Amino acid sequence: MDIELIEIKDFLARHPPFDHLPEEALDPLLGEILIRYLRRGSSIPANDGEADHLYLVRTGAVALFDDKGKLQEKLGEGDYFIPRCEETGDIGLTGRTEEDSLVYMAPCDVLGRLRKAFKEFDAFFSAGTNERLRKALTGINDGVSLASNNLLSIEVGDLIDQRLVSVESGTSVLQAAQRMTECSVSSLLVTRDGDLLGILTDKDLRRRFICQGLSYETPVDAIMTADPIRVRTDTLGFEALLRMTRMGVHHLPVMEGDQLSGVISTTDLIRFQSAHGPYLVREILRAETSAELQNTARRLPQFQVQLVNGGATAEHIGQAVSSITDALTRRLIQLAEAALGPAPVPYAWVAGGSQARREQTSYSDQDNALILSDALRPEQASYFEHLARLVCDGLNACGFYYCPGDAMATNPKWRKPVAEWRRYFHAWIEKPEPMALMLSSIFFDLRVIHGERGLFEGLQQEVLAKSRKNEIFLAFMAANALTHRPPLGFFRTFVLISDGAHDKTFDIKHRGIVPIIDLARVYALASGSPAVNTLERLRDAAEHRVLSDEGAANMIDALAFIATLRMRHQTSQLRQGAPVDNFLPPDDLSPLERNHLKEAFKVIATLQESLSIRYRVGNLG
């Protein structure tokens, strides 16, 4: 074997799966490669004996079909497929060349040998979809500049609060809560002789103690999370963040060797990445005029760029941006109340859509509504009209443009007393018409931003109780969730749509993110979960067995990956001062990103398929 074949070697080194091999493995691999030239219309494999090979396209195009002859994807230069192979667990795909093609073939027993010899190569094949996506997620942030304020370069040990707040096992819940309050921390470690037994958070106190109506003398051991996941002081900040996202927790105990070192919280991580976040919020709270608010809001895009530079995931950016929009909304309401006088009856200002889900990015449009007390008298209605006008105009001036569908509190239809809202929801659930479904992404994703929480919460409970039992409504919501389908993958500079058609650009929002949000909403409605955030909905769905653990984990990773790609795309537009959009040119994606996106699409398509079977969507007229 001669190294003069450097071009072929380079080609292998640049493309999956061989890009997961170390340099020294490539020379021996090269010796096992066969080269074929296949005329247009040739079958791959040509015969059964050649199924157990990996086929890597060097030039040309290959269409892939499943065992039913349905088009699965289309391969171009640098794409590979394996028809049937024990070593990699592939079965059942066949290919047909759509152009004359030059292909490189690697026998499967060689792949098997390489898997045994090289861990990373092995992981590429053995990792389930979710693991590959998770790795990819870490990977896409590699391109981010390693500034000093970067979660990829800072270790958890450098981020944690020096004070370690802990109590001995057996301490009463009352004492533990007092300790937390004294030290103003949101979590507390439970130890016995210095060994970590568990962790207690504000949320545990709420869910496992107050709601259960336990005695103050209950030992903390009964309500703590026992044996929690830990990180080490040298764990990278970004990794800690990913782990929290995966587990759905906000606190992780930190170990230095065997010694307990402290607790890292999402707040620590976000505060670190967004030194300017709390500063923005403070300015918002101090603003006295709408003009001052506009000045502050103008820095929101810059804030988002900083977060992305800091290696934040899309989830945390969504949380951070939404919390600033929340602050803006609240301040606008306070300013309006100061101008108009106190409200005549209690009310709740609710946000819908991405703000409610805490998935907002700068320059989203605004969706909101007002839920008023039933005590409202007709002559008091104009107060809320003025309030809505001031707040919505203010938001628009701050860059959160008027909702094109007029789903805003300024619209009298969406500024109603509780009883009226109850009638709306009743009608939507009992007679789910297409018009109502269009609004579902707004009005089935609501969150109180300001005012009387109770006005909304009672309503929400009724809605969830009703929707959960109504199979016809759920079937319509399921059908709605299937209107946006992910593509099959990419072919050269095109996006390949499921019927074999091409799209020039990839609408990452409607073909990647919206399908997941819509699925998560159906799961939430079917399980009666009050969660609005998509990740929380998916976790709840797994907990309520509406979705398998694996399905939920895959979906969470798929969303994290797609949303982070989108964030990166939009951030580069923000950086260039260009208008922000959701259209990703396929050319901008690396071969590896294309591969991972394809995986993510598969996750979505699979879950859409099972949803359509579950609710027999095809049967709806």
Judged by beta carbon, residue 100 or residue 543, the one nearer other proteins is: 100
Distance of CA 151 to the CA centre of its chain: 19
CB of 121 to other proteins, least distance (A): 19
Rounded to 5 degrees, what are φ and ψ at 255?
A: -110, 140
Q: Give the separation between CA 461 and CA 451, rounded to whole angstroms.
A: 18
CB of 6 to other proteins, least distance (A): 8
- How deeply is 234 buried, as exposed, middle or buried, from its count of CB atoms within 10 A (0-12, 13-18, 19+)? exposed
The token pair that represents 351 in the structure block? 């946000």
Binds other proteins by CB under 8 A, chosen from 38, 44, 180, 260: 38
Query: Residues 55 to 84: which contact other proteins by CB under 8 A?
Result: 58-60
Judged by beta carbon, residue 76 or residue 318, the one nearer other proteins is: 76
Q: Give the separation between CA 249 and CA 458, rounded to whole angstroms.
A: 27
Distance of CA 376 to the CA centre of its chain: 40
Site stretch for other proteins (CB under 8 A), options 4-12, 332-340, 541-549, 571-579: 4-12
CB of 4 to other proteins, least distance (A): 4
Query: Residues 218 to 247: which contact other proteins by CB under 8 A?
Result: none
Binds other proteins by CB under 8 A, chosen from 13, 26, 93, 105: 105
CB of 39 to other proteins, least distance (A): 5
Query: Residues 125 to 154: which contact other proteins by CB under 8 A?
Result: none
**Whether the Cβ atoms of residue 254 and residue 263 lie closer than 8 Å to each other:** yes
- Positive/negative CA dihedral, 441, 445, 450, 454: positive
- Positive/negative CA dihedral, 607, 610, 611, 612: positive
Distances (CA, A) of 233 to 139, 152, 155, 314, 526: 22, 14, 6, 24, 41
CB of 36 to other proteins, least distance (A): 5
CB of 562 to other proteins, least distance (A): 32
Site stretch for other proteins (CB under 8 A), options 53-61, 440-448, 452-460, 477-485: 53-61
39 binds other proteins (CB under 8 A): yes
**Whether the Cβ atoms of residue 487 and residue 495 lie closer than 8 Å to each other:** yes
Name the CA radius of gyration of the chain, rounded: 27
CB of 488 to other proteins, least distance (A): 24
Judged by beta carbon, residue 49 or residue 579, the one nearer other proteins is: 49
> Checking DSSP bridges between strand 368-372 and strand 415-417, what pairing results, if any?
parallel
Distances (CA, A) of 127 to 134, 135, 387: 10, 10, 54
Judged by beta carbon, residue 39 or residue 207, the one nearer other proteins is: 39
Beta-bridge partners for 491: 494
4 binds other proteins (CB under 8 A): yes
Query: Residues 407 to 466: which contact other proteins by CB under 8 A?
Result: none
CB of 18 to other proteins, least distance (A): 13
Exposure string over 11-28, b if 16+ CB within 10 A, otherwise e: bbbebbbbbbbeeebbee
Binds other proteins by CB under 8 A, chosen from 26, 102, 464, 605: 102
> Checking DSSP bridges between strand 62-65 and strand 94-97, what pairing results, if any?
antiparallel
CB of 99 to other proteins, least distance (A): 7
- How many residues touch other proteins under the rule CB under 8 A: the total is 24
1 binds other proteins (CB under 8 A): yes
Judged by beta carbon, residue 59 or residue 493, the one nearer other proteins is: 59
406: left (phi over 0), alpha (psi -120 to 50) or beta: left
Judged by beta carbon, residue 77 or residue 374, the one nearer other proteins is: 77
Query: Residues 8 to 37: which contact other proteins by CB under 8 A?
Result: 8, 11, 30-37
535 binds other proteins (CB under 8 A): no
Site stretch for other proteins (CB under 8 A), options 2-10, 138-146, 487-495, 504-512: 2-10
Runs of H (alpha helix) within 310-369: 314-340, 353-357
Binds other proteins by CB under 8 A, chosen from 19, 98, 100, 543: 100
Judged by beta carbon, residue 52 or residue 155, the one nearer other proteins is: 52
Site stretch for other proteins (CB under 8 A), options 97-105, 183-191, 434-442, 537-545: 97-105
Judged by beta carbon, residue 83 or residue 311, the one nearer other proteins is: 83
Distance of CA 280 to the CA centre of its chain: 24
Distances (CA, A) of 398 to 3, 289, 295, 539: 61, 12, 8, 33
CB of 108 to other proteins, least distance (A): 16
**Whether the Cβ atoms of residue 326 and residue 355 lie closer than 8 Å to each other:** yes
110 binds other proteins (CB under 8 A): no
Q: Give the residues lining the site for other proteins (CB under 8 A).
A: 1-2, 4-5, 7-8, 11, 30-39, 58-60, 99-100, 102, 105
